[in-house]
Structure 1
């Protein structure tokens, strides 16, 4: 099994994807909080009327962003779950291969049937390895999309601060909401960066 990673490598990959899933849950939680905040901000902007029209538009954009980010994280979670299953299968394949290899080594002249089984195991392992690689590449693409989305969110949240300044008697409340938006977005970015780095190291 020349292209087969070691048991340690597969176990390490499994742990990496489990950590990824935990990181995704953290991002989803923040995205949910942004969604709730955006709904409240839309209501506040509606009460403020014409002076907060721009703030209301930005709040709707942030809500859309949170929904899109949540969708991306769900896709990532599905892929991470698939990767965990694939790597678990790889670990089973490795164990089977070792047992077959021991059996083959004990026999002076292994039968063609046993050699065929060994070849099939190698082919199966290679196929699963390629599927894991494809899932990892897809995960990296989606993480990059999430990073760009968060960078866009940072720009929007800064615009919210500017719009809050036009809120007159609602200015203070709008400014507080815009500050919270900015903090939440800033909390997501390091998480996304860490997830990207973790995947790139695999």
Structure 2
């Protein structure tokens, strides 16, 4: 692959990781909203008493899910930031490598010292490319874990709807909360899927 092609590939990767970081911020915001909603739902279920015991348990599960999702997103953000730094450094190295190779071809006589520098830079470049691949694979694993967590969240939010039906005079309020849970979870899933697809294309 030519240096220009490598630079183009690295630029595309950089843009993908920047988009990933933006997507993560959106998911963290929704996870925070679910956490607040879950706390309110726990308080509501306490007020409702025995008729909302099941709803209270489910609300606690959703709160745990939101905390775990936030933790996952923070780990993702750390790795995405690392990838951005690695690729930015890679782009700088590619430009230097291009200059060295241009100099190498313009020399009248071969230079052993320059050949050694070019070879060393190429080795460093390949090592950095491997680091980027490792971070990308780690990101894919974390995104898959987040996707499974959201699917579990969908199941829990549906259970909340069922439990809300037993809430008697609190039934309407519980049903509204369970509907909001479901909407928030349904908002996260497409975001996670989009982030996964973006990483898989790299």
- Measured against the shorter chain, the TM-score band is over 0.9
CA positional deviation for 1:194: 0.2
Residue 68 (1) aligns with residue 68 (2): yes
Task: Tell me the TM-score normalized by structure 1.
Answer: 0.97
| SS in structure 2 at match of 1:148 | helix
Residue in 2 aligned with 1:128? Answer: 128
Task: Tell me the TM-score normalized by structure 2.
Answer: 0.97
Residue in 2 aligned with 1:89? Answer: 89
Residue in 1 aligned with 2:36? Answer: 36
Residue in 1 aligned with 2:142? Answer: 142
Query: What per-residue deviation string (whole Å, max 9, x for no partner) do you get for residues 93-137 of structure 1?
Result: 110001101111111222211111000100000000000000000
Note the 1:89-108 alignment, pairs <5 A: 89-108=89-108
Mapped contact 1:65–1:149 kept (Cα < 8 A): yes
Paired with 1:94 and 1:109, the residues of 2 have a C-alpha distance of 24
| SS in structure 2 at match of 1:158 | helix
Number of residue equivalences: 202
Paired with 2:111 and 2:185, the residues of 1 have a C-alpha distance of 62
| SS in structure 2 at match of 1:6 | helix
Mapped contact 2:30–2:188 kept (Cα < 8 A): yes
Mapped contact 1:4–1:126 kept (Cα < 8 A): no
Unaligned runs of 5+ in 1: none
Mapped contact 1:3–1:126 kept (Cα < 8 A): no
Paired with 1:148 and 1:123, the residues of 2 have a C-alpha distance of 38
Paired with 1:153 and 1:160, the residues of 2 have a C-alpha distance of 10
Paired with 1:66 and 1:146, the residues of 2 have a C-alpha distance of 11
Residue in 2 aligned with 1:9? Answer: 9
